[in-house]
Amino acid sequence: MAAKRESQAALAARAAEIGRRLAAEYPDAKCRLNHSSPFELLLATILAAQCTDDKVNEVTAAFFTRANTPQAIARMRRSTLEAAFRPTGFFRNKARSVHEMSKTLVKKFGGQVPDDMDDLVSLPGVARKTANVVRATCFGLPAIITDTHVIRLSGRMGLTRNTAPERIERDLMRLLPQESWSTFSHAMLFHGRAVCGAKRPACEACVVADLCPSACAFPHFAKQRSSLL
């Protein structure tokens, strides 16, 4: 007999409990990108694509002493930005995005980072994930941040059947109360880094293993189980 499909109400209750436990497990979970303004965080988040937060913080610590406003960066040579961003990878694309984003902020928004989603995603190099990082962290607005960990864990935990970030964001927004969106996102991100890794999740150390349909369903755990039989 096929397993009974989880009702929407049951799924929402399970998601809420996952969020509650992870928030308790990671009470200090927050954005790890160093910044002192919405613009600095916007730039750092663009650099963080396919790069670690630690490396981005290392790069921006030096770069922000030279330029940390859209006006200053808009006046810089593209080659100067490429050299500064090289350690983060994909530096040509990132330099182009940061340069054009800065010019657009100056031209359309008076050099101020907007908090409106449509305005943010109109900026070169800024997609919904980047916009939500800034909205949640700098403006205190409710936002689901679909970074790679949130995407992986949401699927693994059965909170979504989608793989596209925007659809996953929508699914989680439907499941969770608005006031928990940001906390849930950061806690999931920290859990993905600390416990629920991509290849070898530590299910035996997971505080939500009993709520996760994928718990202990990985090859290295299968070997452990068979050795005990």
Residue 225 buriedness (CB in 10 A; 0-12 / 13-18 / 19+): exposed
DSSP state of 64: T
C-alpha span between 119 and 122 (Å, rounded) = 5
**Which one from 54, 108, 129, 199 is the annotated catalytic residue?**
129
Does the annotation count 129 as an active-site position? Answer: yes
Provide the sign of the torsion angle of the four alpha carbons 130, 45, 158, 18, taken in this order.
negative
Q: What are phi and psi of 9, to 5 degrees?
A: -65, -40
The length of the chain in residues reads 229
Catalytic residue among 30, 147, 199, 223: 147
Measured between alpha carbons, how far is 44 from 39 in angstroms, rounded to an integer? Answer: 9
Active site residues: 129, 147
